[in-house]
């Protein structure tokens, strides 16, 4: 791969939803891709279609990023192939809907490993290379869930709060080194997330018209390229995320509990 001519984006969770749409956007801009996900057949099909349509090079890495040190294994693979990562997009993540005392620990442990540990390790590894070069962009998928506690999705909301605060902090640390870190905070999106989180009956999504993954991905891409520290998709999401800081915290928790709805 000739990385001196084309830039390369590494995208996790690239087989579906926002990650897939981000892959298409980067390909359309002429960027080479490293696509990481568990579903290798989907990645291989995406690779074939993007390489044919945009004359780029796509590397597929099948990896369960909830496994310990999976991010290091991906980094070692790109280093071995001498691939320079110009855009790091930590998109992979999942949630779970249910009362904390009823939910499954193994699933939550994997959620923490994926949403927090893998994301942090990817940043730790690739940002050092970016600093040596003096350029690079990182986008970490947070969520509007990051701005408040989330009864019925307690662990998920907490992981996204971590992503938001972590991203803002390291963005401050590396801005003068030619690097930007964007915490991208979409709201509920038509992406398959709700089904995976078993929250189709939640008031947050049931019967609601949600923006599509393509629209959300386009907003996130533009925000990353502008170097925005925090990017919240949707006017009402922006209002809600920022108005919460003026409300009593006890009221905020009650509001979120109502919006999420009863757990069946």
Point out the residues that are catalytic.
156
3-state secondary structure of 231: strand
Give the Å distances, CA to CA, from 159 to 64, 118, 132: 18, 12, 29
Q: Provide the CA 245 distance to its chain's centre, in angstroms.
A: 24
3-state secondary structure of 2: coil
CB 117 within 8 A of CB 140: no
Asked whether the beta carbons of 136 and 127 are under 8 A apart, the reply is yes
Tokens of 198: 């078993």
Residue with tokens 């991010």: 71
Half-sphere exposure of 63 (CA within 13 A, CB side): 26
Name the nearest CA neighbour of 119 among 25, 233, 11, 230: 11
């Amino acid at each position: 791969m000739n990385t001196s001519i084309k830039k390369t984006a590494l995208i996790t969770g690239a087989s579906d939803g926002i990650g897939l749409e981000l892959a298409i956007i980067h390909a359309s801009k002429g960027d080479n891709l490293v696509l990481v996900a568990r579903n290798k057949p989907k990645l291989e099909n995406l690779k074939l279609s993007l390489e044919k349509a945009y004359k780029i090079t796509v590397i597929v890495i099948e990896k369960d990023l909830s496994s310990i040190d999976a991010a290091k294994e991906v980094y070692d693979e790109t280093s071995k192939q001498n691939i320079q990562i110009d855009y790091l997009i930590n998109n992979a993540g999942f949630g779970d809907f249910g009362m904390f005392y009823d939910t499954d620990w193994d699933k939550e442990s994997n959620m923490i490993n994926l949403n927090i540990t893998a994301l942090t390790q990817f940043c730790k590894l690739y940002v050092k290379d970016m600093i040596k070069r003096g350029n690079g962009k990182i986008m970490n998928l947070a969520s509007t869930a990051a701005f408040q506690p989330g009864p019925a999705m307690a662990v998920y909301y907490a992981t996204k709060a971590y992503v938001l605060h972590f991203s803002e902090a390291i963005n401050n640390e590396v801005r003068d080194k030619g690097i930007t870190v964007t915490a991208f905070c979409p709201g509920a999106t038509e992406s398959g997330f709700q089904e995976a989180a078993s929250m189709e009956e939640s008031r947050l999504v049931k019967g609601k018209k949600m923006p599509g993954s393509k629209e959300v991905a386009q907003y996130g891409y533009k925000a990353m390229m502008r170097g925005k520290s925090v990017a919240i998709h949707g006017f009402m999401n922006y209002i809600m995320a920022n108005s919460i800081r003026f409300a009593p915290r006890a009221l905020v928790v009650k509001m979120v509990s109502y919006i999420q709805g009863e757990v069946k």
